[in-house]
Amino acid sequence: MLVCALVALIPFFRGVAILHFCRPRFSWKMLRQIIACGSPSFLNNIASRITSIIMNALLVRLGGETAVSVYGVLMFVDGFIQPLLYGMCDSVQPAVGFNWGARKFSRVRAIEKCCFVAAAVVSVLSVFVIALFPAQITGLFIAGGTQEVLSMSVGALRLFCLTYFVRWLSFATQSYMLAIEKSLPASVISVSTALVFPVILLGVLWPLGLNGIWLNLAGASLLSGVMSLFILRKIRPQLHQPDSVEEPSAEA
């Protein structure tokens, strides 16, 4: 990381970058805006850790070390797919934010349409890959596991993969809200997905035992998707504003 940071500074020292170093000037308004935009990710990380603690405690009670190992496989798989969704959705934020500020709303909608479609395609493909190759995926993370672990993991993955049918919707909507400076809806989606819905579903799905835990994230993603649709519908008038027309200059 140090080497990468030094390489990134070379254009500044050579004077070939458009950006340049200057005396910092702090603005409380800007700092509040930065905190507001960063709060969804901050709250998501805290909420996710709390949920993981609760999940592991229940897994030990319901299935012992075997269940904890299987849950680890699910999180490893999620660790491959989730960064793809985050990368696609977050990478378009600068373009969305720029066009939103320039009041080029048609461009914002076009960019977000590509983002939502791409996230949906990756998510749905992930469902089929996980459903078709659960044993092979388990073998990547558990070498020489017992038959009990393998069987439980295969069943858990087939239930867990249902998560990605709708998970893309909350990812893309949260990123969209952040790009247009609507941090409150983004924070609500973030905390609900990571903590509120999973904890509620633990009680609802408790009669299903371990299967209820494997389905927990899928249920939370479904509820988050419904919430995302509600938020998008509520702010639809703002998202479908006409583009601003630049007034002709005096010289023209």
pLDDT, tens digit, for every residue of 175-204? 999 888 888 898 899 889 988 999 999 989
Q: Output the pLDDT for position 158.
A: 92
The answer, yes or no, to whether residue 23 has pLDDT greater than 50, is yes
Average pLDDT, the chain: 87
pLDDT digits 0-9 by tens, 197-219: 999 999 898 988 899 999 999 99
**Domain edges within the chain:** 41-239
Q: Output the pLDDT for position 227.
A: 94
Percent of the chain having pLDDT more than 70? 96
pLDDT digits 0-9 by tens, 24-75: 888 888 888 788 778 887 888 888 888 888 888 898 888 888 888 899 899 8
Q: Output the pLDDT for position 245.
A: 64
The answer, yes or no, to whether residue 250 has pLDDT greater than 50, is no
Q: Output the pLDDT for position 56.
A: 87
**234 CB neighbour count, 10 Å cutoff:** 10
Reading the block at residue 170, the tokens are: 């909350």
Predicted TM-score (pTM) of the model is 0.82
